[in-house]
Amino acid sequence: MSKVLIAGGGLAGLAAAAALGRDGWEVDLHETRPFLGGRATSYAVPAGGDEVAETIDNCQHILLRCCVNLLDFYRRLGVRESIRFYREFYFIEPGGRISVLKRGRFPAPFHFTGSFLAMKCFSRHDKVGIARALIALRRERTRRKDLDRISMLDWLLQKRQTPHAIDRFWRQVLVSAVNEDLDRMAAVHGFQVFWLGFLRSSDAYEMGIPSVPLGQLYAADAWKNMPNVRMHLRSTVERIDACGFMADGKVLTADQYICALPFEKLEALGLPAPKLQHSPITGVHLWFDREVTTLPHATLLDRTMQWMFNKDGGRYLQLVVSASRDLTPLSRKEIIDLAVGDLRLFFPRVREANLVKAHVVKEQRATFSGAPETEDLRPGTACTIPNLHMAGDWTRNGWPATMEGAVRSGYLAAEGVAKASGKSPVYLIG
Ligand SMILES: Cc1cc2nc3c(=O)[nH]c(=O)nc-3n(C[C@H](O)[C@H](O)[C@H](O)COP(=O)(O)OP(=O)(O)OC[C@H]3O[C@@H](n4cnc5c(N)ncnc54)[C@H](O)[C@@H]3O)c2cc1C
């Protein structure tokens, strides 16, 4: 059977390995780190004293039901059931008032009407404006040709959105989905999130959260059923050229090759690198001595911390700040103090609780920045080197930098590999 070499064990490389492996290809995947998953992974945090080391995700990762390729990848690994879906979004104001967004009885795109009208965090004026903008978004999605050139904020201002609607609705949903602020985000990405996640079908918005640490998803037994797929951990690819891969000082050859590395690594390997910028994400892990909330998750309005995820009976919370440039200069202690201060405003029980442990993960290179005029900078899977196919969330796969985008790119690269060998399987969904 034909052989393929893959550089990079993030979701893009793993998705390509799962697709080609199932179709009988001999696959050798080289990952520099001692574990799989790349930017969507988990690891043990050393504990102090007698405590047991804790396995944590580098940052909470969520998906929506519209991430059909990611769900297909989890299905291939046999871990689809480890994703728990939630149908309610909780918007909390400082002071603790909660508004819930959930689908009702009407069909899409009107399925949120009942809960949206009842949301107390928006005024009537905000709601009328948001509804008008959503109707315009549906209409302009296919008609406007400048959506990659203008920012989402430009578009929202054109639609005369209130400052409240921008801050509490559009920013709250989109900054975490696209990992960029509204004034730096190409409108095309904002449109896609709302179209696919909120308007096209009534269950697409449901939020999936892995019920196990991320790393456990890829350590799945499924690989055992594919003995033709071999994972080489702690194996660094040092060069990629027409002769093959140079890894760990050896030249490795195959029929086809996939490069699924982060874009900033390409130049050092002798490959052309796109001129994309990064956008950071900061995750804050807080362990309290008692339960401080019973909500499974919530979006926190008007403060620095954007999302809260309840990881263990309301005692262990994970907070996420996307596009977190403002946190870059702060020390870990300053970020923890800021996070606890924010939480006290939303969850009064935090005032009585003691913080037992805290951990901050600043990912400065979390994703590429989906700024205006970057779509043309994202290359496709084809490359100047024959039989080399590019993958990664940064390639042009129709999605912003997300797990779904990474899997889509892996499937596209796998299709390229198969096509170059005269076959035409379809791995990509949608
Ligand atoms: C903090 C954070 C939070 C996020 N939250 C979400 C979220 O909630 N939802 C969502 O959909 N997305 C989220 N993302 C984005 C998502 O994690 C990424 O889009 C996706 O994981 C990228 O996968 P990838 O395979 O393209 O790249 P990567 O995951 O970067 O994979 C590349 C792999 O290549 C390896 N590598 C690098 N150099 C070499 C070398 N020389 N040789 C061999 N291997 C090498 C790396 O170790 C890595 O494993 C988040 C990202 C971060 C950082």
pLDDT tens for 286-327 read 999 999 999 999 999 999 999 999 999 999 999 999 999 999
Q: Establish whether residue 406 lines the binding site of ligand 1, counting it when its CB lies within 6 angstroms of any ligand atom.
A: yes
Helix (H, G, I), strand (E, B) or coil at 265: helix
Q: Establish whether residue 393 lines the binding site of ligand 1, counting it when its CB lies within 6 angstroms of any ligand atom.
A: yes
Residue 103 is given by DSSP the state: -
> Which stretches of 248-341 are assigned E, i.e. beta strand?
250-252, 256-259, 278-288, 297-300, 307-312, 316-322
Distances 133 to 115, 117, 226, 320 between C-alpha atoms, Å: 18, 15, 48, 27
Q: Establish whether residue 281 lines the binding site of ligand 1, counting it when its CB lies within 6 angstroms of any ligand atom.
A: yes
pLDDT in tens, 204-213: 999 999 999 9
pLDDT of residue 53: 79
CA of 221 to the centre of ligand 1 (A): 22
pLDDT of residue 129: 98
Q: Establish whether residue 370 lines the binding site of ligand 1, counting it when its CB lies within 6 angstroms of any ligand atom.
A: no
Nearest-atom index, ligand 1, CA of 404: 11
Relative to beta strand 3-7, strand 26-30 is: parallel
Q: Per-block average pLDDT, block size 10, for the chain (430 residues)?
A: 95 98 97 96 78 85 98 96 98 98 97 98 98 97 96 98 98 98 98 97 97 92 91 97 94 97 96 96 97 98 98 96 98 98 98 96 97 96 94 97 98 97 94
- Global pTM reads 0.97
Rounded CA separation 403/67 (Å): 8
Cβ proximity of 100 and 296 under 8 Å: no
CA of 38 to the centre of ligand 1 (A): 4
Nearest CA to ligand 1 atom 13: 402
Q: Establish whether residue 401 lines the binding site of ligand 1, counting it when its CB lies within 6 angstroms of any ligand atom.
A: yes
Cβ proximity of 406 and 319 under 8 Å: no
Cα-only R_g, the chain: 22
Relative to beta strand 237-241, strand 244-247 is: antiparallel
CA 233 vs. chain centroid, Å, equals 23
Question: Amino acid identity of 94?
Answer: P
Q: Checking phi first, is residue 50 left (phi over 0); if not, alpha (psi -120 to 50) or beta?
A: alpha
Nearest-atom index, ligand 1, CA of 281: 1
CA of 391 to the centre of ligand 1 (A): 11
Q: Establish whether residue 231 lines the binding site of ligand 1, counting it when its CB lies within 6 angstroms of any ligand atom.
A: no
Pocket test for ligand 1, best of 231, 403, 407, 408 (most atoms within 8 A of CB): 403
Q: Establish whether residue 304 lines the binding site of ligand 1, counting it when its CB lies within 6 angstroms of any ligand atom.
A: no
Token pair of 409, please? 């790119």
What angle do helix axes 403-420 and 68-77 make, rounded to 10 degrees? 70
Q: Establish whether residue 32 lines the binding site of ligand 1, counting it when its CB lies within 6 angstroms of any ligand atom.
A: yes
Pocket test for ligand 1, best of 39, 381, 403 (most atoms within 8 A of CB): 39
CA of 119 to the centre of ligand 1 (A): 35
pLDDT in tens, 164-195: 999 999 999 999 999 999 999 999 999 999 99
Query: Which residue reads 């956008």 in tokens?
Result: 279
pLDDT of residue 45: 82
Q: Establish whether residue 392 lines the binding site of ligand 1, counting it when its CB lies within 6 angstroms of any ligand atom.
A: yes
Rounded CA separation 1/274 (Å): 34
Residue 79 phi, psi dihedral angles, 5° rounding: -120, 15
Q: Establish whether residue 323 lines the binding site of ligand 1, counting it when its CB lies within 6 angstroms of any ligand atom.
A: no
pLDDT of residue 49: 64
Residue 189 phi, psi dihedral angles, 5° rounding: -70, -45
Cβ proximity of 19 and 411 under 8 Å: yes
Q: Establish whether residue 260 lines the binding site of ligand 1, counting it when its CB lies within 6 angstroms of any ligand atom.
A: yes
Rounded CA separation 248/155 (Å): 49
pLDDT of residue 99: 98
Residue 405 contacts by C-beta under 8 Å, 6 or more apart in sequence?
Answer: 393, 397, 398, 399
pLDDT of residue 50: 66
What angle do helix axes 187-194 and 171-178 make, rounded to 10 degrees? 100
CA of 351 to the centre of ligand 1 (A): 36
Nearest-atom index, ligand 1, CA of 61: 8
